[in-house]
Structure 1
């Protein structure tokens, strides 16, 4: 299906193929963890509790963690690539002004001789969300880019900024006759509780929380938990936590402890390990998703499986 973005494609786009991982490479899916399993026999498993509800398209996901280095941008790129490979129309929104790593990775394809818009333009009502949406080099994935100028939102605080993204999405749907132009919108939030992050959470249907398996990330969990619950009370009561992604996962007693803790904090969420891989860490330098650069690496399969748990493929929902 042709991209619904407002700007024409700039040359051919690379297809994102499905993965052909053998069943042995896939993680086991369970409804509860057995705490009595001996360490030697313990393996990474995807927890899908009875309280979990699969998403359905159209859906707005916010990838959020108040701590940097948790794997937010990688998670955004890989989930976007997995859903595009499954046939969904996907848009990613770079809402992190600190690095704009998502824009540098996916490289929006700007048309020649036209003004270049960004997420900042949407906040200041210089353009619509559609006008700030551009194709990437990958078929099925469009994006709203950002740069350091997005931080102007934080200190100039335009009127209605907390609702700006939610309003822009609603306006876009209204202009499309009540139909969302994208099946999936993924917002890569900044690692801070600023105005832009609150706007992202206010616009979202579900929060996806990457947490790096490490001591500092565990200490920051309480703050993140408080932030999400605050947004649910004040600006977006429909927001729920869809999944927690345990990034850079290695087998350890600490990883087991962290998984148990997040399953208590977010009993409605799937908890999904994303195994560590050196090759996967190289993917951003190649400006490719892991599923293209290193399709045999464990994280490629883990993210592909995560995407299917969170939002099933069209064949599954048919």
Structure 2
């Protein structure tokens, strides 16, 4: 079993990098409704927060989903994790994307020498527990369940109970520990609505949906909404959409149209623009969250604001 950080045989907590607070966060204005009658010249990015919205409390599980590639799912998972870890939460990120395993490459799990690496595929095929597939990263407060191309085996071999495998693994992990090991679990889903994504939604309290401004993501929202409703009905009645993020946002007529469309489709859900940043795009190659690589960027600030809306800050570990 992987030894947790800070315990005998595990990595020393002090040897990990503490994620910094943002010194001068560029916070967006929060509104309860879009100013649809405002002229284009006066229109600017704002965070839409319906009056009925209440941030969740830990422990909480989020699935980051969108069947389109390039929407910003992995960036969303990493930056939300970094924001929560900086606030003192214990965060586990699960890489559920078999295509490129971008999250695993970005966060670089620290495998113990001499041990056979485990992964999310190992959990699906009951070769190990979720705890045994969880590894520390270089960043304090963030652990990761890695993935690889072999996760695709789940889609075509379809092990018994696969739809509920992640939910069952999380429940078993909490039972073994006596309580939830982590304040937050984030699942970075594949750009598809296949079996692994369904398993992620079946395990989640909330779905977080990134939509790329300027892409074709909105055209697939109907399919995603149908999948979420099916999972709610058949597997996970507590699941709800927790947030929509408009990634790669810049001021344009399309951004405005997309904002209004999403607000109409999800009237009870916060909608957060994530402003475009060239500097932030360098972070994955550097192996760091944007929060530590470019803390002055609007991306770091926007995700910090989103994290605060998804999860109440008081009571952090």
Normalising by the smaller structure, the TM-score range is over 0.9
CA–CA distance in structure 1, aligned partners of residues 213 and 285 of structure 2: 23
Per the alignment, residue 195 of structure 1 pairs with 195
Per the alignment, residue 34 of structure 1 pairs with 35
Alpha carbons of 1:4 and 1:165: their partners in 2 closer, same or farther (altered >3 Å)? farther
**Is 1:271–2:301 an aligned residue pair?**
no
**Is 1:17–2:17 an aligned residue pair?**
no
CA–CA distance in structure 1, aligned partners of residues 127 and 6 of structure 2: 20
Alpha carbons of 1:166 and 1:259: their partners in 2 closer, same or farther (altered >3 Å)? same
How many residue pairs end up in the alignment?
Answer: 313
Q: CA deviation at 1:10?
A: 7.0
CA–CA distance in structure 1, aligned partners of residues 32 and 42 of structure 2: 18
Does the CA-based 8 Å contact 2:87-2:313 persist in structure 1? yes
CA–CA distance in structure 1, aligned partners of residues 9 and 215 of structure 2: 44
Alpha carbons of 1:13 and 1:299: their partners in 2 closer, same or farther (altered >3 Å)? same
Q: CA deviation at 1:215?
A: 4.3
Q: CA deviation at 1:40?
A: 0.7
Per the alignment, residue 206 of structure 2 pairs with 206
Does the CA-based 8 Å contact 2:83-2:304 persist in structure 1? yes
CA–CA distance in structure 2, aligned partners of residues 271 and 48 of structure 1: 7
User: Structure 1, unaligned stretches of length 5 or more?
Assistant: none
Q: CA deviation at 1:307?
A: 0.7
TM-score computed with the length of structure 2 as normaliser: 0.95
Write the mapping of 1:1-318 to structure 2, written as runs, cut at 5 A: 3=5, 8-9=10-11, 12-22=15-25, 25-177=26-178, 179-314=179-314
CA–CA distance in structure 2, aligned partners of residues 121 and 151 of structure 1: 12
Q: CA deviation at 1:224?
A: 1.5
CA displacement, residues 53-75 of structure 1 (integer Å, 9 cap, x when unaligned): 31110000000001000000000
Tell me the SS of whatever aligns to 1:314. Answer: coil
Q: CA deviation at 1:3?
A: 4.4
CA displacement, residues 141-182 of structure 1 (integer Å, 9 cap, x when unaligned): 0000000000111111000000000001111111122x1000
Does the CA-based 8 Å contact 2:6-2:12 persist in structure 1? no
Alpha carbons of 1:90 and 1:5: their partners in 2 closer, same or farther (altered >3 Å)? farther
CA–CA distance in structure 2, aligned partners of residues 307 and 258 of structure 1: 22
User: Structure 2, unaligned stretches of length 5 or more?
Assistant: none
Tell me the SS of whatever aligns to 1:126. Answer: coil
CA–CA distance in structure 2, aligned partners of residues 263 and 230 of structure 1: 22
CA–CA distance in structure 2, aligned partners of residues 279 and 114 of structure 1: 37
Q: CA deviation at 1:265?
A: 1.6
Alpha carbons of 1:54 and 1:7: their partners in 2 closer, same or farther (altered >3 Å)? farther
Displacement over 6 Å in runs of 4+? 4-7
- What CA RMSD, in Å, does the superposition of the two structures yield over aligned residues? 1.8
CA–CA distance in structure 1, aligned partners of residues 99 and 228 of structure 2: 21
